[in-house]
Chains A and B, each alone.
Chain A
Amino acid sequence: RKEVEQDPGPFNVPEGATVAFNCTYSNSASQSFFWYRQDCRKEPKLLMSVYSSGNEDGRFTAQLNRASQYISLLIRDSKLSDSATYLCVVNRGSYIPTFGRGTSLIVHP
C-alpha cells in the first residue's frame, strides 16, 4: 500500500456543487496533515492545515479520521476558480513529508 493515496480523478462538477476528496495514509504515527492546491504548471500553495477536531475556512472543510487513517476535504458551492489539483501532505514528524499524487478537480459552468 502506498504511504499516501489519493484518487487522481478528475472530479468533474458543475458550479455550485459540493465535492469531497479523501486521502488515506498508511503510517499511524503520522503527526500533521495539510491540503495544498496546485494550479496547472504552478507551484503548490497551502490551502489549509488539518486539525484533529476538523476545521473550516469559508467554503472549505477539512477533517481527520485517525481511526480509519484518512483526511478529507469538502468544497461547498464550487466556483470555476476552484479548478485545480489538490494535494494532501502527511508528515511523520521527521523532515520528510509525503505528498499524495493529487486529485484533479474541474468545475464547469
Chain B
Amino acid sequence: NAGVTQTPKFQVLKTGQSMTLQCAQDMNHNSMYWYRQDPGMGLRLIYYSASEGTTDKGEVPNGYNVSRLNKREFSLRLESAAPSQTSVYFCASSEAGVIDTQYFGPGTRLTVL
C-alpha cells in the first residue's frame, strides 16, 4: 500500500517548456488535490477534484491545467513554465473531501530557469 505517489521527484525546466506532474493514490479515495508550497507562503491549493470526472479551480490556478484520469490518478500540467512556478508541488487525496484527513504525496521540487 504505497499511499500517494508522485513523479518526478525533481525537475528543472527552462522558461516556456511544458511538463506534466503525475499523481496516483491507491487508497480508493474520492477526492484529490494539487498544492504548491513556497517559502513563507504556506500551502496553496491549485486545483482539486472532488470526485472522479470533476475538477475545480483552487486558490492559484493560473498557468496550470489538471486531468482526473480515473479514480486513482490526477495530473497537473504546466503548459508554458515560468520562473514564478518554481515551487514544491504536493498532491493529496482524501476519502470524502477536505473535511476529511488529507494524505500527501512526497512532493515534486520544480525549478524553472
CB within 8 Å: A-B pair count = 49
A32-B107 CB under 8 A given contacts A44-B43, A44-B90, A96-B59: no
Total contacting residues, chain A, CB less than 8 A: 21
Closest B residue by C-beta to A102: B42
In B20-54, the 8 Å CB interface with A consists of 31, 40-45, 48, 50
Could you say which of B11-19, B71-79, B96-104 contacts chain A? B96-104
A77 to B113, alpha carbons, bound, how many Å? 45
Which residues of A27-74 are within 8 A (CB) of B? 31-32, 34, 42-46, 49
CB pair A49 B40 closer than 8 Å? no
Consensus secondary structure, chain A interface: loop
**Best-surrounded residue of A42, A43, A44, A93 (most CB of chain B within 10 A):** A43
Within the assembled complex, what's the spacing in Å between the Cα atoms of A87 and B44? 12
Pick 26 A–B contacts, CB within 8 A, sort by A: A31-B99, A32-B98, A32-B99, A34-B101, A42-B106, A43-B104, A43-B105, A44-B43, A44-B102, A44-B104, A45-B104, A46-B101, A46-B102, A87-B42, A87-B43, A91-B98, A91-B99, A93-B99, A94-B98, A95-B48, A95-B50, A95-B56, A96-B59, A99-B43, A101-B40, A101-B41
Query: Which residues of A are in contact with B by a Cβ distance under 8 Å?
Result: 8, 31-32, 34, 42-46, 49, 87, 91, 93-97, 99-102
Q: 15 extra interchain contacts, Cβ-Cβ under 8 A, other than A43-B105, A87-B42, A96-B58?
A: A34-B101, A43-B104, A43-B107, A44-B43, A44-B90, A44-B104, A45-B104, A46-B101, A91-B99, A95-B98, A96-B45, A96-B48, A99-B44, A101-B40, A101-B41
